[in-house]
């Protein structure tokens, strides 16, 4: 599938990138990182326009994140009355809201690029709490700009070794996300043994 | 020592009783971490070989990208493949195979010839490309 999509980027350019980053921010399994690296390499070889490519990647990603966030907000508002009836659930939601207030900003920023596989779930979780959408959007644009800049930039810099940089970077991204999940669950387990 | 091991085992058993989901999540995350780490080592060994870094032309690659990654001028490559100067900017290797009938292997052979002779023999190849 990846090669078909790569051929489409070569032929149709930025639109394919916009659609791919949009879908990847909704947790759909499309190789957005690999395509952004290719986008950078195609800028280097004068096949794609730099501004068009970067704006398409950024626009698709931010639109995808907002869709997830606002979708979760819409659903949680519908379920609000039902949640309020159960004190245990209401307490859980209040706790989630407090965590979001405290860690939401950096959480959004780093789950856009450093731990990008977690991004779509952060959107849904924050959408379900009362986290403000303007604040979400500001952190989101900052984080996605880092993500797009990093991948398109590395694609540009390593244009001649696209297969290598794609292998290494997509694997590194998986490694970081898995390691972060190991640390988080390990920490919770350790805390549980002490109690 | 044996006492300590027994104590750790007891703790793990207790955790398994009370936090089964969390332990499963931890085991999955740790396994994935190990998997990605081993894969990273494999990639490092594979890509350390410079021969693996020269990218053969593949159907999805645009002509300009192939020219860039092989360090040959795109106009010379287009000419060597028998394409006119008015060829589309985003022509891919698959398109070129369809238009000219050249297989990716033949395209690679011409690339190698072009690169070996570049810049002096580039002119000769250009002519040869047009004759075909």
- Over pLDDT 70: what percentage of chain B? 88
User: Across residues B7-23, what is the average pLDDT?
Assistant: 86
Q: pTM to 2 decimals?
A: 0.84
* pLDDT tens profile A90-144: 887 788 888 888 888 999 999 999 988 889 999 999 998 889 999 999 999 999 9
Nearest chain A alpha carbon to B36: A175
Domain count, chain A: 1
Rounded to a whole number of angstroms, the distance from the CA of B95 to the nearest CA of chain A is: 10
Judged by CB atoms closer than 8 Å, whether chains meet at B30 and A182 is answered as yes
* pLDDT tens profile B48-95: 988 888 888 988 999 999 999 999 998 888 988 888 776 777 788 988
B107: left (phi over 0), alpha (psi -120 to 50) or beta: alpha
Q: Residue A7 to residues A10, A58, A119: CA-CA distances in angstroms?
A: 5, 21, 27
**Residue B75's pLDDT is what?**
87
**Residue A101's pLDDT is what?**
85
With tokens 């195979």, the residue in question is: B97
Nearest chain A alpha carbon to B27: A182
Prediction ipTM score: 0.81
Burial of A98 (0-12, 13-18, 19+ CB in 10 A): exposed
Q: How far apart are CA A23 and CA A180, in angstroms?
A: 24
Mean pLDDT (chain B, rounded): 83
With tokens 């939401």, the residue in question is: A104
Residue A1, chain B, CB below 8 Å: the answer is no
**Residue B122's pLDDT is what?**
42
Query: CA angle, corner A148, sides to A142 and A154, nearest 5?
Result: 130
Judged by CB atoms closer than 8 Å, whether chains meet at B29 and A44 is answered as no
What sections of B48-132 are H helices per DSSP? 63-70, 74-80, 93-100, 104-117, 122-131
Comparing CB atoms, the residue among A164, A178, A179 nearest residue B47 is A164
pLDDT < 70 stretches in chain A: 1
Instruction: Number of A to B CB contacts under 8 A, please give it.
Output: 113
Q: Where are the domains of chain B?
A: 2-50, 54-131
**Residue B127's pLDDT is what?**
40
- Phi, psi for residue B62 in degrees, rounded to 5: -70, 150
- With contact defined as beta carbons under 8 Å apart, do B96 and B83 qualify? yes
Residue A159, chain B, CB below 8 Å: the answer is yes
**Residue A1's pLDDT is what?**
58
Specify which of A41-55, B6-20, B99-113 reaches the highest per-range mean pLDDT. A41-55
- Phi, psi for residue B92 in degrees, rounded to 5: -100, 170
Residue A49, chain B, CB below 8 Å: the answer is no
Q: Which one of A47, A159, A193 makes the best mutation probe of the B interface by having the most chain B beta carbons within 10 Å?
A: A47
* Residue B118 banded pLDDT, cuts 50, 70, 90: low
pLDDT of residue B129 exceeding 70: no
Residue A175: both structure tokens together: 């490694």
**Residue B126's pLDDT is what?**
42
* Domain enclosing residue A21, as ranges: 2-194
């Amino acid at each position: 599938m990846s090669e078909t999509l790569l051929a489409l980027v070569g032929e149709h350019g930025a639109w394919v990138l916009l659609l791919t980053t949009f879908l990847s921010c909704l947790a759909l399994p499309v190789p957005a990182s690999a395509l952004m690296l290719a986008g950078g390499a195609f800028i280097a070889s004068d096949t794609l326009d730099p501004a068009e490519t970067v704006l398409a990647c950024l626009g698709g990603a931010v639109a995808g994140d907002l869709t997830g966030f606002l979708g979760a907000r819409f659903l949680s508002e519908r379920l609000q009355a039902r949640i309020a009836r159960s004190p245990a659930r209401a307490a859980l939601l209040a706790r989630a809201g407090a965590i979001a207030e405290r860690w939401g900003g950096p959480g959004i920023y780093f789950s856009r690029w450093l731990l990008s596989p977690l991004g779509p779930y952060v959107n849904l979780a924050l959408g379900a709490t009362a986290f403000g959408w303007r604040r979400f959007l500001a952190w989101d644009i900052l984080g996605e700009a880092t993500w797009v800049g990093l991948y398109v930039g590395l694609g540009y810099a390593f244009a001649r070794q696209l297969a290598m940089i794609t292998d290494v970077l997509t694997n590194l991204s998986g490694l970081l996300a898995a390691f972060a999940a190991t640390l988080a669950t390990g920490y919770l387990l350790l805390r549980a043994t002490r109690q | 020592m044996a006492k300590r091991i027994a104590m750790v085992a007891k703790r793990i058993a207790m955790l398994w009783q009370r936090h089964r989901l969390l332990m499963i999540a931890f085991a999955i995350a740790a396994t994935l971490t190990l998997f990605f780490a081993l894969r990273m080592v494999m990639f490092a060994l594979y890509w350390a070989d410079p021969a693996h870094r020269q990218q053969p032309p593949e159907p999805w690659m645009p002509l300009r990208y192939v020219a860039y990654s092989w360090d040959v001028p795109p106009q010379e490559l287009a000419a060597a493949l028998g394409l006119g100067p008015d060829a589309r900017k985003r022509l891919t290797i698959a398109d070129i195979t369809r238009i000219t009938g050249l297989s990716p292997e033949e395209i690679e052979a011409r690339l190698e010839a072009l690169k070996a002779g570049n810049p002096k023999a580039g002119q000769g190849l250009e002519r040869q490309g047009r004759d075909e």
